[in-house]
Chain A
Amino acid sequence: MNGAAMTDALSAESHFIDPAPFEPEAGAEGRAESASAWRLILRKFLRHRLAVASAVILLALYAIVPFVEQLAPYGQARRNGDFLYAPPQGVHLFHEGRFVGPFVYPYRAHLDLDTFRRDYRADTAAPQPLRFLCRGDGYAWLGLIPSDLHVVCPPENGTLFLLGTDKLGRDLFSRLIYGARISLTIGLVGVAISFALGLFFGGIAGYFGGIVDAGVQRLIEVVRSLPELPLWLALSAALPPNWSPLLIFFGITVILGLLDWPGLARAVRGKLLALREEDFVQAAELMGASPARVIGRHLIPNFMSHLIASATLSIPTMILGETALSFLGLGLRPPVTSWGVLLNEAQNLAAVQLYPWLLAPVLPVLVTVLAFNFLGDGLRDAADPYH
């Protein structure tokens, strides 16, 4: 510190009052008391490292959803008849100590006549480099735009089975990516349905009270006391078998959402009962606001953060629910590919013993469910920034 600054500081101190004109707004920015609630929530959330990491992972996963066709090396239904139950193929960078870029060793298949199993051996003499941004199996992007562009393709006259193939010789990795689109959206759509129902029932119960409240409460109790899975089973058995796969998909989503709302409705009701007594609600009512406006404009924004947190926590239930239903053969059916459908094909002990790579779809399920759980926990902690 130099002498001039020292005297400045001293003189300022001797006056006790800053000679500069006072501006109440200046300096307030960034201070906790004046930041908006959403900003506070964001700040608190960012401190939760696990939750932030989960959010990044989930964003990455959901970024895949629109570009499934380009990212998968093979088409969804492409069968490689010569490579049934082929084990995963490793991608290498160095051939005999020399850098060649990403390549695979081709598989030589031969039938073991003692066990009647196909045996695959990598031919390490002939590396086949992968192709990037290349033409491969044709597809209609999002069902609309025909194209055949892929980010990565198998080598010319070669194969690229990152996670092996199934009993029909379909590439598991490609199917896994296609499955992500269905499995990840089913959670979101299901939660949207349950969110709407929860808001509606919780909203009318908490706002009107009395008989409406009692009725909704009983309804919540009934739905909550039912074991989910048997009901899911019963409801999905009721879906007409002649529906198209897309309709079945929506049917399953609705079924998952139909049984999940009571938790949300309860949270909404509890919060509403507390908020209803606040002065600002009374003021709005006195000014002639309609119930819909009071609920929608004044009450809901006050506990939206809580709702989003609880909704996030119920997405994994939906994803697991879809997986379980499809696994039992009552959910989505082929040709629709979801992680549950893929696991359904790994449903026997032979898969665990002989073809363990068929169990790979459990990994994305695990990662997604865990990430949603951590994210939900982080959001819940951050939802109330004033505590």
Chain B
Amino acid sequence: MIAVILRRILTMAATLLVISALVFVIIKLPPGDYLTNQIMELRATGDASSVAKAELLIRQYGLDRPVWQQYLMWIGLMPGAAGFSGLLQGDWGWSFEYDKPVADVVGDALWLTLLINLTAVVFVHLVAIPAAIYSATHRNTFGDAVVTLLGYVGLAVPGFLLALILLFYANRWFGLSIGGLYDSALTNQPWTWEKIRSLLGHLIVPTLVIGLGGTAAMIRRMRANLLDELAKPYTVTARAKGLPPLKALLKYPFRMSLNPFVADIGNLLPHLVSGSVLVSLVLSLPTVGPLLLEALRSQDQFMAGFILMFVAALTLVGMLISDLTLVWLDPRIRMGLR
């Protein structure tokens, strides 16, 4: 088991390294960068001291060096002006736009992103599993049709629009306030019970929107899996020998159908993270989504790079957890038979 975990973690580290190179290439694709743009602007206005400061930053972050050296410095494999100081050393770089370290700018947004994605994963499972069990055991009934239809609609409605409309009606009918993750009055308050309650209230719409698309896919797959299992002889035997119906459903066929389901989390996660970025933008949630868009627009490269790395790492860790759960859940994998 430990060997498996170690191997997985090593693969993950290698994947992250490849991703970091990819990310760096992408954020370097647009010609120029924030600082050179700024310097040109400053030159035009003739602000000499600011130009000197910007040039200092350029030298400090090695933006005048070849791209591959910049990359190595960014991830912390090559010494820059301040020695080895990159992602590996926990230095996430400098946000030129905010004139602050990236770590200070993103701060709480990381935790809120994590929270939103976690709630979405929990929501997807809480909804998808019972819905799939219901629609598989009540095959071709009205309820099954309704579940399937809702699933398809969830698949087809663009999430951002759903967010907008839900937000409007949640406000009109239930008095949930619009946008943000908690009441604006509580923004700079310490975490109190009231703030947590406000946070939970504000999480409802984003969770619904982010989760809905994934839920649809999950229900369909889980339903198909469960139907396959229910048709197998062992289920018939279990029923024939008089096992209580619930036990005959949950203990064997359900457990079997769970495996592909868990393995599927790997596919689900990138989806959810994507969804959370989009929905955060529409609902102006203080997650990394709006920060990313802003950083990309202004070519604030270390900021954009760090956020892209963060969402990639988030999905990879999620996949790792799903892999390990699968190992724990499925004896065939655990024993190395597959």
User: Interface on A for B, CB 8 Å cutoff?
Assistant: 218, 221-222, 224-231, 233-235, 237-238, 240, 316, 320, 323-324, 327-328, 330, 343, 346-347, 349, 352-353, 359, 362, 365-366, 369-370, 373
Alpha-carbon gap, A239 to B327, bound state (A): 43
A-B CB proximity, top 3 nearest: A229-B274, A238-B29, A237-B296
- Most chain-B CB neighbours within 10 Å: which of A222, A346, A373? A222
Q: What residues on A are CB-neighbors of B156 within 8 Å? A: 316, 365-366, 369-370, 373
**In chain B, residues 308-324, which have Cβ atoms closer than 8 Å to a Cβ of chain A?**
308, 311-312, 315-316, 319
Given known A227-B273, A234-B296, contact A349–B158 (CB-CB < 8 A): no
Of B41-49, B134-142, B159-167, B256-264, the one contacting chain A is B159-167
Given known A225-B316, A230-B292, contact A365–B158 (CB-CB < 8 A): yes
**Beta-carbon nearest neighbor of A263 in chain B:** B267
Q: What residues on B are CB-neighbors of A324 within 8 Å? A: 158-160, 278
Please determine whether A349 and B270 come into contact, CB atoms closer than 8 angstroms.
Answer: no
Please determine whether B312 and A227 come into contact, CB atoms closer than 8 angstroms.
Answer: yes
Please tell me if B336 contacts chain A, counting CB pairs below 8 Å: no
User: Interface on B for A, CB 8 Å cutoff?
Assistant: 15, 18-19, 22-23, 26-27, 29-31, 152-153, 155-161, 164-165, 167-168, 178, 266-267, 269-271, 273-275, 277-278, 281-282, 292-293, 296-297, 304, 307-308, 311-312, 315-316, 319
Given known A222-B22, A227-B273, A228-B274, contact A359–B316 (CB-CB < 8 A): no
Please determine whether B15 and A230 come into contact, CB atoms closer than 8 angstroms.
Answer: no
Q: What residues on B are CB-neighbors of A373 within 8 Å? A: 152, 155-156
Report which of A221, A226, A320 forms a contact with B158, defined as CB distance below 8 A. A320
Alpha-carbon gap, A19 to B266, bound state (A): 66
Q: What residues on A are CB-neighbors of B23 within 8 Å? A: 234
| Listed A/B pairs (15) with beta-carbon separation below 8 Å | A221-B15, A222-B15, A225-B270, A227-B274, A327-B158, A327-B160, A328-B160, A328-B281, A328-B293, A343-B160, A343-B161, A346-B161, A349-B164, A349-B178, A353-B168
Q: What residues on B are CB-neighbors of A323 within 8 Å? A: 158
Given known A328-B278, A370-B152, A373-B156, contact A225–B319 (CB-CB < 8 A): yes
Please determine whether A230 and B311 come into contact, CB atoms closer than 8 angstroms.
Answer: yes
Alpha-carbon gap, A353 to B165, bound state (A): 9
Please determine whether A231 and B308 come into contact, CB atoms closer than 8 angstroms.
Answer: yes
A225-B315, A234-B27 given. 9 additional CB < 8 A pairs? A218-B18, A222-B18, A224-B267, A227-B311, A229-B278, A234-B23, A328-B160, A362-B161, A366-B156
**Beta-carbon nearest neighbor of B179 in chain A:** A349
Please determine whether A230 and B158 come into contact, CB atoms closer than 8 angstroms.
Answer: no
Given known A234-B304, A324-B158, A369-B155, contact A226–B19 (CB-CB < 8 A): yes
Q: What residues on A are CB-neighbors of B267 within 8 Å? A: 224
Alpha-carbon gap, A226 to B23, bound state (A): 10
Please determine whether A225 and B312 come into contact, CB atoms closer than 8 angstroms.
Answer: yes
Please determine whether A227 and B18 come into contact, CB atoms closer than 8 angstroms.
Answer: no
Please determine whether A229 and B19 come into contact, CB atoms closer than 8 angstroms.
Answer: no
Report which of B158, B293, B316 forms a contact with A343, defined as CB distance below 8 A. B158
**Beta-carbon nearest neighbor of B171 in chain A:** A349
